[in-house]
Structure 1
Amino acid sequence: MRINKAYPLSGGGISTRQSVLWKLVVKYKYYYLLMLPGLIYFLVFKYIPMIGILIAFKDYKLSLGVMDSAWSGMKWFRILFETEDFWVAFTNTIIISFYRLIFGFPAPIILALLLNEVFSNGIKRLIQTIVYFPHFLSWVVLGGMMFTLLSPSTGILAVFGMESSPIMQPDNFRSLLVWSNIWKEAGWGTIIYLAAIAGINPELYEAGRMDGASRFQLVRYVTIPSIANTIVILLILRTGHILSAGFDQVFILYNPLVYSVADILDTYVYRVGLTMGRYSLAAAAGLFQSVVGLLMLLFSNWLARRMGGSGLW
């Protein structure tokens, strides 16, 4: 067995391990430089703001600040769980997120499989450009377009004689949220799946064709199993955001007529925290949302590993 003397496997104490670590840092210094912007982003915008969690356990006052405000223990969580509006928002969030998971998650997978079957590179690039484009439009722009197009007086609904817009109908609002989100994000979501498909060994397809497999059978028995790990990992990450039903979209599209089916935890936190000034209650709702998301992420990863998948770790 050959042992690299420059990087001993064990022994040498702390100083030796620090020396080895420093040599590795110097060796891969350019990789660390490439990682630096991302690390700074997460540090500044994700980790440092976590000090705001303390607000959920304090009677927070702007004049005193986070540190000098009095501790309140679990007071705001008790108030939160006794508030009817919170449970309405929680129920709506679960329902909308469930619909998005059932109908929205498979959409980019199916679209990527269809794009992979297009042999003409020119047509394939054209289709990709068309389906990618909505992703780069903000919900402010898309919301304005939807209000105009679905207007019963000036939009396409006027042609069919409809007197009410689906945006104003509680029975149709959730479906409108789900399908409009699929239209906006499905094309962009295909990028990862197309990259995974591009990494599949072409010899697998050749072997399938020699055995007489049809194009559908190649997709079913070669393509899908080859990208299964990618699908599982993205599904795990998606379940971690099960209580994030899309603040931008809902905030732009919802209105008082559909509050009963459209108010979600994100809009609840915004309304209670910023418009009502109940910062501690909003922080408690946000912390509850994050904890549930973390638990769902851990459970999904555990379940994936139990079913024989690789999981995230």
Structure 2
Amino acid sequence: MFKWIIQDKLAQAPMPSLSELAYIRRVFDAVIVLTMPHEQPLSERYVDMLESHGFQVLHVPTPDYHPLELFDLLRTSIFIDENLRESRRVLVHCMGGIGRSGLVTTAYLIYKGYDLYSALKHVRTTVPGAVENKGQALMLENYYNLVNSFGQELLRNYGKIIFALNDPQAVLHASKTTQFTIELLNNLSMENTLSRGLLTQSLLHFHDQKIQSKLKELFKDLEFSSSAERLLSFTHTLDIFQDGRVVLTIYDSSQSKVDLTVLCKWDCEKIVEISATKKNIIEEIMGKEVYISWANYLDYV
């Protein structure tokens, strides 16, 4: 039914049946639900059913075969950590208990200090095939780079500020901007100071002035630069409509050019058109011409 990732503390599983909930409640205190409403018994009432059994529930609806959003991985890591600190056992489930669930449990191990390879090996030893496609693996790599850049404590404090916003669209936009910044940095040769400054500015990408003020205080020891601001204007454009349609960006670099493929849930022609007006920013740094196109994410994986 379920498999322990951290013995007697954290487990992952396929979707439980309603008849299994009473047994699961005897073992677990908290549940992370990753399924979309149409996958769940009782649809949107499923979460209410779990809460009526006494579970603490975090619902992060994520389409099958897709990765969780970058900041949703942070949210799940904080949720798991806070429950384990209170000696509460946590179950993570999606539909099959492999892809989305494996992404969350592996991300938590990274949050606690595992390197990317060790975390993935640990989870796959228990759940063969966990983190089941390239898209999920790439998002896990993004999360590793985020945690490796800032550490658990700073990200926990950051998460508490932004998740208290109760503004899902603003959080998603900052998440996408940060994700696209990480994916860009993976393909640029930049000094560590400039890279961290750019990544920090992406984390501050909120329009709410009170939130910005709190976040700047959190990151007060870091320096910013005009170069970082220019690059951020490009990654921001990849989520210009703030709807999260771009799942991942893939850079393929040769000696003479860079092909940037934007992997999308639906039509991204307009995003390609708008981002092409900003591509000179990264062309100057890479010293190569950049060609931007889009493709369907599910065709990629």
Same fold at TM > 0.5: no
Between Structure 1 and Structure 2, which shows a larger proportion of helix residues?
1
Between Structure 1 and Structure 2, which shows a larger proportion of strand residues?
2
Using the size of structure 1 for normalisation, the TM-score is 0.23
Using the size of structure 2 for normalisation, the TM-score is 0.24
